[in-house]
Amino acid sequence: MQQSFHPRHFALVPAAGSGSRMGAGLPKQYLPLLGQPLIRHALATLCATPEIDQVFVVLSVDDSHWARHDWSEMSPKLVPLFCGGPTRADSVLAGLRAIAHDVAATDWVLVHDAARPCLASWHVERLIRELGHDDCGGILALPMADTLKRADEQRRIVETVARDRLWRAQTPQMFRYVVLRRALESAHGVTDEASAIEAAGLRPRLIEGDTTNLKVTWPLDLHLAEWILLHREGVVQ
């Protein structure tokens, strides 16, 4: 692996999930959103970001949907990798292994969920700008706005959890290639990259994003995502 004094930026998009909570007949990354497969929106934003050199998409080994769409109109930056694993962390790690010869140890990798179609260029640019000189890297996140309750098995409140200093993690999550790969190789049961980095003893920075970068998990989220994309200009800057 090469060393680099001017680190480049690569996007890695895990898209090997089945979308079980959506309950659709199709993995959610391929559901239609404004006439395009959902995943295409975030890929277009990442490909259009000048700071990003290449956009790697981690698909499941037996993905039969990718080839049904025409990606030729998209940037040559886009590279599909058919190497997903049983969990999101497995898919990300498999993607990192697959690109080992394309990246330098100190290059930045921005991991972004395929299931967040409303990613905008200002989200990506803010993250890159704020973390460019950071030792550790960090993530887009939102300060908690709601009051938090912990429930018992009967869904009765047992506790109110103080929300000060609590944040909701989003993606992209941006770390140096070698740091992220080592952290994921040692971590178990993590649901995002930052958890693996934390488990390695480092403290990722939180960069404030906004609510438009939502993750499509439940059927209603698809309608919200559509509304956000249609009303983008008026929503946030």
Q: Say which residue the tokens 């941006």 belong to.
A: 174
Helix ranges restricted to H, the chain: 38-48, 88-98, 121-131, 177-186, 193-199, 219-230, 232-235
C-beta of residue 107 within 8 angstroms of C-beta of residue 177: yes
Print the binding letters for residues 13-42 with ligand CTP: x by CB under 6 A, - otherwise: -xxxxxxxx------xx-------------
Tokens describing residue 137: 């890297």
Stretch that binds ligand CTP, among 81-89, 123-131, 150-158, 195-203 (CB under 6 A): 81-89
Closer of 19 and 138 to ligand CTP (Cβ): 19
Smallest separation (angstroms) from ligand CTP to the CB of 26: 11
Contact status, residue 197 vs residue 204, Cβ threshold 8 Å: yes
Q: What's 40's DSSP letter?
A: H
- Min CB(104)–ligand CTP separation in Å: 24
In whole angstroms, the minimum distance from the beta carbon of 87 to ligand CTP comes to: 5
Q: Does 86 bind ligand CTP (CB under 6 A)?
A: yes
The shares of helix, strand and coil residues in the chain, as percent rounded to the nearest 5, are 30, 25, 45
* 78-82/52-59 β-pairing: parallel
Tell me if 29 sits within 8 A of 39, measured CB to CB.
yes
Q: Quick check: 83 binds ligand CTP (CB under 6 A)?
A: no
Give, as ranges, the residues between 44 and 63 that touch ligand CTP (CB under 6 A). Answer: 58
Nearest to 111 by CA among 129, 94, 130: 94
Q: Does 195 bind ligand CTP (CB under 6 A)?
A: no
C-beta closer to ligand CTP: residue 21 or 231: 21
Q: What residue type is assigned to position 76 of the chain?
A: P
111 to 130: interface string for ligand CTP, x by CB under 6 A:
--xxx---------------
Q: Which is nearer to ligand CTP, 15 or 104 (CB)?
A: 15
Q: Nearest to ligand CTP by Cβ — which residue?
A: 17
Tokens of 206: 């939180």
Q: How far is the CB of 156 from ligand CTP (least distance, A)?
A: 27
Residue numbers at the binding site for ligand CTP (CB under 6 A):
14-21, 28-29, 58, 84-88, 91, 113-115, 215, 217
